Amino acid sequence: MPKKNIFDFVEMKERGEKITGLTAYDFSTASIAEAAGLDWLLIGDSLGNVIYGYSGTLPVTMDMMIVHSQAVRRGAPNTFIVGDMPFMSYQKSVEDAIANAGRFHKEAGVDAIKLEGGRRITPQVKGIVDSGMLVQGHIGMTPQSSGQMGGFKVQGNTAEAAMELLADAEALEEAGVFSIVLEAVPPESSRLITGRLKIPTLGIGAGPYCDGQLLIHSDMLGLYQVFTPRFVRKYANLAEEMTRAYKEYIKEVREGKFPAEEHFYKMKAGEAEKLGKLIKGLPMRK
Ligand code: KIV
Protein backbone atom coordinates (compact mmCIF):
# COMPACT_ATOMS: atom_id res chain seq x y z
CA MET A 1 0.00 0.00 0.00
CA PRO A 2 1.41 3.47 -0.84
CA LYS A 3 2.31 5.73 2.07
CA LYS A 4 -0.59 8.04 3.04
CA ASN A 5 -0.11 11.82 3.01
CA ILE A 6 -1.89 14.75 4.65
CA PHE A 7 -4.33 15.10 1.75
CA ASP A 8 -5.34 11.44 2.10
CA PHE A 9 -6.07 12.10 5.79
CA VAL A 10 -8.30 15.09 4.99
CA GLU A 11 -10.11 13.06 2.32
CA MET A 12 -10.64 10.27 4.86
CA LYS A 13 -12.19 12.81 7.23
CA GLU A 14 -14.46 14.09 4.46
CA ARG A 15 -15.53 10.54 3.52
CA GLY A 16 -16.10 9.62 7.18
CA GLU A 17 -13.43 6.89 6.93
CA LYS A 18 -11.72 6.44 10.30
CA ILE A 19 -7.95 7.01 10.46
CA THR A 20 -6.07 4.32 12.42
CA GLY A 21 -2.93 5.07 14.39
CA LEU A 22 -0.78 3.42 17.03
CA THR A 23 2.47 4.28 18.72
CA ALA A 24 5.61 2.34 17.75
CA TYR A 25 9.09 2.54 19.19
CA ASP A 26 11.17 -0.17 17.48
CA PHE A 27 11.87 -1.94 14.18
CA SER A 28 9.99 -5.20 14.80
CA THR A 29 6.70 -3.71 15.99
CA ALA A 30 6.82 -1.02 13.29
CA SER A 31 7.19 -3.66 10.57
CA ILE A 32 4.26 -5.65 12.00
CA ALA A 33 2.17 -2.45 12.20
CA GLU A 34 2.95 -1.59 8.57
CA ALA A 35 2.10 -5.10 7.37
CA ALA A 36 -1.17 -4.94 9.33
CA GLY A 37 -2.12 -1.75 7.46
CA LEU A 38 -2.07 1.05 10.07
CA ASP A 39 -2.58 4.50 8.45
CA TRP A 40 0.09 6.18 10.57
CA LEU A 41 2.45 5.58 13.49
CA LEU A 42 3.54 7.87 16.31
CA ILE A 43 6.93 7.57 17.91
CA GLY A 44 5.51 8.92 21.16
CA ASP A 45 7.52 10.30 24.03
CA SER A 46 5.39 7.79 25.97
CA LEU A 47 8.46 5.62 25.33
CA GLY A 48 9.73 7.29 28.50
CA ASN A 49 7.14 5.23 30.40
CA VAL A 50 6.73 2.06 28.42
CA ILE A 51 10.27 1.49 27.11
CA TYR A 52 12.48 3.22 29.70
CA GLY A 53 10.33 2.80 32.83
CA TYR A 54 10.24 6.48 33.89
CA SER A 55 7.12 7.64 35.72
CA GLY A 56 6.50 10.33 33.07
CA THR A 57 7.78 11.75 29.80
CA LEU A 58 9.86 14.67 31.09
CA PRO A 59 13.24 12.83 31.13
CA VAL A 60 12.94 11.90 27.42
CA THR A 61 15.61 13.55 25.23
CA MET A 62 15.89 14.36 21.54
CA ASP A 63 18.66 11.75 21.18
CA MET A 64 16.36 9.03 22.57
CA MET A 65 13.54 10.08 20.23
CA ILE A 66 15.84 10.10 17.19
CA VAL A 67 17.20 6.60 17.82
CA HIS A 68 13.69 5.13 18.20
CA SER A 69 12.35 7.09 15.21
CA GLN A 70 15.17 5.73 13.04
CA ALA A 71 14.25 2.17 14.07
CA VAL A 72 10.56 2.75 13.31
CA ARG A 73 11.41 4.28 9.92
CA ARG A 74 13.47 1.19 9.03
CA GLY A 75 10.60 -1.07 10.11
CA ALA A 76 7.85 0.90 8.39
CA PRO A 77 9.32 2.58 5.29
CA ASN A 78 5.89 2.98 3.65
CA THR A 79 3.90 4.32 6.60
CA PHE A 80 3.35 7.98 7.55
CA ILE A 81 5.32 8.41 10.80
CA VAL A 82 5.21 11.26 13.31
CA GLY A 83 8.04 12.03 15.75
CA ASP A 84 6.98 13.41 19.12
CA MET A 85 8.98 16.47 20.20
CA PRO A 86 10.15 15.78 23.78
CA PHE A 87 9.94 18.15 26.75
CA MET A 88 12.17 21.22 26.30
CA SER A 89 12.89 20.56 22.63
CA TYR A 90 10.46 23.32 21.51
CA GLN A 91 9.26 25.26 24.57
CA LYS A 92 12.28 27.57 24.92
CA SER A 93 12.21 29.26 21.51
CA VAL A 94 10.96 29.09 17.95
CA GLU A 95 14.58 28.59 16.80
CA ASP A 96 14.98 25.55 19.05
CA ALA A 97 11.68 24.15 17.81
CA ILE A 98 12.71 24.52 14.13
CA ALA A 99 16.16 23.02 14.76
CA ASN A 100 14.81 20.00 16.63
CA ALA A 101 11.98 19.40 14.14
CA GLY A 102 14.70 19.52 11.47
CA ARG A 103 16.75 16.88 13.34
CA PHE A 104 13.76 14.50 13.31
CA HIS A 105 13.53 14.89 9.53
CA LYS A 106 17.25 14.84 8.67
CA GLU A 107 18.32 12.06 11.04
CA ALA A 108 15.22 9.85 11.22
CA GLY A 109 13.26 10.55 8.04
CA VAL A 110 9.95 11.21 9.81
CA ASP A 111 7.02 12.64 7.84
CA ALA A 112 5.90 15.06 10.57
CA ILE A 113 6.48 16.04 14.16
CA LYS A 114 4.03 16.54 17.03
CA LEU A 115 3.99 19.28 19.68
CA GLU A 116 1.90 19.43 22.85
CA GLY A 117 -0.07 22.61 23.58
CA GLY A 118 -2.60 25.01 22.12
CA ARG A 119 -2.48 28.77 21.70
CA ARG A 120 0.75 29.13 23.64
CA ILE A 121 2.78 27.18 21.09
CA THR A 122 1.39 28.64 17.86
CA PRO A 123 4.61 30.66 17.23
CA GLN A 124 6.58 27.38 17.25
CA VAL A 125 4.00 25.70 14.99
CA LYS A 126 4.17 28.60 12.49
CA GLY A 127 7.97 28.60 12.55
CA ILE A 128 8.19 24.86 11.80
CA VAL A 129 5.45 25.00 9.14
CA ASP A 130 7.13 28.03 7.49
CA SER A 131 10.31 25.93 7.32
CA GLY A 132 8.44 23.42 5.17
CA MET A 133 7.71 20.71 7.74
CA LEU A 134 4.43 19.14 8.84
CA VAL A 135 3.18 19.62 12.40
CA GLN A 136 0.60 17.63 14.34
CA GLY A 137 -1.03 19.32 17.34
CA HIS A 138 -1.84 17.65 20.66
CA ILE A 139 -4.32 19.14 23.14
CA GLY A 140 -6.47 17.97 26.05
CA MET A 141 -4.39 15.98 28.49
CA THR A 142 -0.82 16.85 27.59
CA PRO A 143 1.57 14.77 29.73
CA GLN A 144 4.49 17.23 29.40
CA SER A 145 2.46 19.84 31.32
CA SER A 146 0.55 17.42 33.56
CA GLY A 147 1.99 19.19 36.62
CA GLN A 148 -0.02 22.29 35.70
CA MET A 149 -3.12 20.10 35.28
CA GLY A 150 -2.72 18.56 38.72
CA GLY A 151 -1.77 15.18 37.23
CA PHE A 152 -2.97 12.98 34.37
CA LYS A 153 -6.55 14.29 34.42
CA VAL A 154 -9.45 14.50 31.98
CA GLN A 155 -9.57 17.90 30.22
CA GLY A 156 -12.42 19.83 28.60
CA ASN A 157 -15.04 18.37 30.93
CA THR A 158 -16.90 21.62 31.61
CA ALA A 159 -18.68 23.73 28.99
CA GLU A 160 -16.17 26.53 29.53
CA ALA A 161 -13.18 24.18 29.31
CA ALA A 162 -14.61 22.68 26.10
CA MET A 163 -14.79 26.19 24.57
CA GLU A 164 -11.17 26.83 25.66
CA LEU A 165 -10.09 23.59 23.98
CA LEU A 166 -11.94 24.61 20.82
CA ALA A 167 -10.10 27.95 20.83
CA ASP A 168 -6.80 26.05 21.11
CA ALA A 169 -7.77 23.69 18.29
CA GLU A 170 -8.81 26.56 16.00
CA ALA A 171 -5.62 28.48 16.76
CA LEU A 172 -3.54 25.40 15.90
CA GLU A 173 -5.44 24.86 12.64
CA GLU A 174 -4.92 28.53 11.78
CA ALA A 175 -1.18 28.15 12.58
CA GLY A 176 -0.95 25.31 10.04
CA VAL A 177 -1.12 21.92 11.81
CA PHE A 178 -2.35 19.09 9.56
CA SER A 179 -4.13 17.16 12.33
CA ILE A 180 -4.71 17.33 16.07
CA VAL A 181 -4.46 14.61 18.72
CA LEU A 182 -7.16 15.00 21.40
CA GLU A 183 -6.22 13.17 24.59
CA ALA A 184 -8.53 12.36 27.51
CA VAL A 185 -11.46 14.65 26.71
CA PRO A 186 -15.18 13.83 26.86
CA PRO A 187 -16.98 13.01 23.59
CA GLU A 188 -19.03 16.24 23.73
CA SER A 189 -15.81 18.28 23.52
CA SER A 190 -14.15 16.16 20.83
CA ARG A 191 -17.38 16.15 18.76
CA LEU A 192 -17.48 19.95 18.87
CA ILE A 193 -13.83 20.27 17.84
CA THR A 194 -14.07 17.56 15.14
CA GLY A 195 -17.15 19.21 13.69
CA ARG A 196 -15.55 22.68 13.57
CA LEU A 197 -12.17 21.78 12.04
CA LYS A 198 -11.29 21.00 8.41
CA ILE A 199 -8.28 18.97 9.52
CA PRO A 200 -8.67 15.52 11.14
CA THR A 201 -8.84 14.95 14.88
CA LEU A 202 -7.23 11.81 16.26
CA GLY A 203 -8.58 10.71 19.60
CA ILE A 204 -6.92 8.86 22.44
CA GLY A 205 -9.47 8.64 25.22
CA ALA A 206 -11.60 11.19 23.35
CA GLY A 207 -14.63 9.10 22.44
CA PRO A 208 -16.10 7.92 19.14
CA TYR A 209 -16.57 11.19 17.21
CA CYS A 210 -12.93 11.88 16.32
CA ASP A 211 -11.84 11.35 12.73
CA GLY A 212 -9.40 8.67 13.86
CA GLN A 213 -8.24 6.74 16.89
CA LEU A 214 -4.83 6.33 18.46
CA LEU A 215 -3.63 3.98 21.20
CA ILE A 216 -0.30 3.27 22.83
CA HIS A 217 0.75 -0.09 21.43
CA SER A 218 2.04 -1.43 24.76
CA ASP A 219 -1.38 -0.69 26.32
CA MET A 220 -3.51 -2.27 23.60
CA LEU A 221 -1.25 -5.33 23.45
CA GLY A 222 -1.39 -5.79 27.23
CA LEU A 223 2.38 -5.38 27.61
CA TYR A 224 2.67 -2.38 29.93
CA GLN A 225 1.71 -3.48 33.43
CA VAL A 226 2.19 -0.31 35.50
CA PHE A 227 -1.07 1.46 34.67
CA THR A 228 -3.89 1.04 32.15
CA PRO A 229 -6.00 4.13 31.44
CA ARG A 230 -9.81 3.70 31.29
CA PHE A 231 -9.86 4.41 27.55
CA VAL A 232 -7.70 1.42 26.60
CA ARG A 233 -9.12 -1.76 25.12
CA LYS A 234 -6.66 -4.66 25.35
CA TYR A 235 -6.65 -6.44 21.99
CA ALA A 236 -4.13 -8.99 23.28
CA ASN A 237 -2.56 -9.98 26.54
CA LEU A 238 1.07 -10.26 25.55
CA ALA A 239 2.31 -10.06 29.14
CA GLU A 240 0.45 -13.30 29.85
CA GLU A 241 1.67 -14.91 26.63
CA MET A 242 5.28 -13.82 27.28
CA THR A 243 5.18 -15.15 30.84
CA ARG A 244 3.94 -18.49 29.51
CA ALA A 245 6.72 -18.59 26.89
CA TYR A 246 9.46 -17.57 29.36
CA LYS A 247 8.34 -20.24 31.85
CA GLU A 248 8.28 -22.92 29.17
CA TYR A 249 11.80 -21.93 28.06
CA ILE A 250 13.10 -22.08 31.65
CA LYS A 251 11.53 -25.53 32.09
CA GLU A 252 12.85 -26.93 28.81
CA VAL A 253 16.39 -25.65 29.40
CA ARG A 254 16.38 -27.14 32.89
CA GLU A 255 15.03 -30.45 31.59
CA GLY A 256 17.53 -30.58 28.71
CA LYS A 257 14.73 -30.45 26.10
CA PHE A 258 16.09 -27.27 24.55
CA PRO A 259 18.11 -27.02 22.40
CA ALA A 260 17.01 -30.05 20.36
CA GLU A 261 18.84 -31.51 17.38
CA GLU A 262 17.20 -29.17 14.86
CA HIS A 263 18.83 -26.22 16.67
CA PHE A 264 22.42 -27.62 16.50
CA TYR A 265 25.07 -26.62 13.95
CA LYS A 266 26.82 -29.59 12.31
CA MET A 267 30.59 -30.00 11.90
CA LYS A 268 31.90 -30.59 8.37
CA ALA A 269 31.86 -34.25 7.26
CA GLY A 270 34.57 -36.33 8.96
CA GLU A 271 35.63 -33.50 11.33
CA ALA A 272 33.87 -34.91 14.42
CA GLU A 273 35.85 -38.16 14.07
CA LYS A 274 39.08 -36.20 13.55
CA LEU A 275 38.36 -34.15 16.67
CA GLY A 276 37.62 -37.36 18.63
CA LYS A 277 41.11 -38.65 17.78
CA LEU A 278 42.77 -35.33 18.60
CA ILE A 279 41.27 -35.12 22.08
CA LYS A 280 41.63 -38.81 22.96
CA GLY A 281 42.97 -39.12 26.50
CA LEU A 282 42.25 -35.42 27.35
CA PRO A 283 40.76 -35.30 30.88
CA MET A 284 37.17 -33.92 30.77
CA ARG A 285 35.00 -32.54 33.58
CA LYS A 286 31.80 -34.04 32.08
O1 KIV B 1 3.61 10.04 23.65
C2 KIV B 1 2.58 9.58 23.18
O3 KIV B 1 2.43 8.38 22.93
C4 KIV B 1 1.51 10.53 22.91
C5 KIV B 1 0.14 9.97 22.74
C6 KIV B 1 -0.40 9.55 24.05
C7 KIV B 1 -0.75 10.95 22.08
O8 KIV B 1 1.73 11.69 22.88
The mean pLDDT of 213-239, rounded to a whole number, is 97
Q: Which residues have CB under 6 Å of ligand 1?
A: 23, 42, 44-46, 84, 138, 181, 183, 204, 214, 216
- Residue range 50-70: average pLDDT? 98
Whether the pLDDT of residue 286 is over 90: the answer is: no
Looking at the CA of residue 216, tell me the nearest atom of ligand 1. Answer: 3
Q: What is the 3-state secondary structure (H, E, C) of the chain?
A: CCCCCHHHHHHHHHHCCCEEEEECCCHHHHHHHHHHCCCEEEECCCHHHHCCCCCCCCCCCHHHHHHHHHHHHHHCCCCEEEEECCCCCCCCCHHHHHHHHHHHHHHHCCCEEECCECHHHHHHHHHHHHCCCCEEEEEECCHHHCCCCCCCCCCCCCHHHHHHHHHHHHHHHHHCCCEEEEECCCHHHHHHHHHHCCCCEEEECCCCCCCEEEECHHHHCCCCCCCCCCCCCCCCCHHHHHHHHHHHHHHHHHCCCCCCHHHCCCCCCCHHHHHHHHCCCCCCCC
Tens of pLDDT, residues 238-277: 999 999 999 999 999 999 999 999 999 999 999 999 999 9
Instruction: Please compute the mean of the pLDDT values over residues 23-46 and round it to a whole number.
Output: 98
Determine the distance separating the centroid of ligand 1 and the alpha carbon of 46, expressed in angstroms: 5
155-190 residue pLDDT tens: 999 999 999 999 999 999 999 999 999 999 999 999
Q: Which pLDDT belongs to residue 1?
A: 83
Average pLDDT over residues 22-41: 98
Rounded mean pLDDT of the chain?
A: 97
* pLDDT of amino acid 124: 98
Q: What is the pLDDT of residue 28?
A: 98
Residue 285 has pLDDT above 90, yes or no: no
At 94 the pLDDT is 98
Question: Which atom from ligand 1 is nearest to the alpha carbon of 181?
Answer: 7
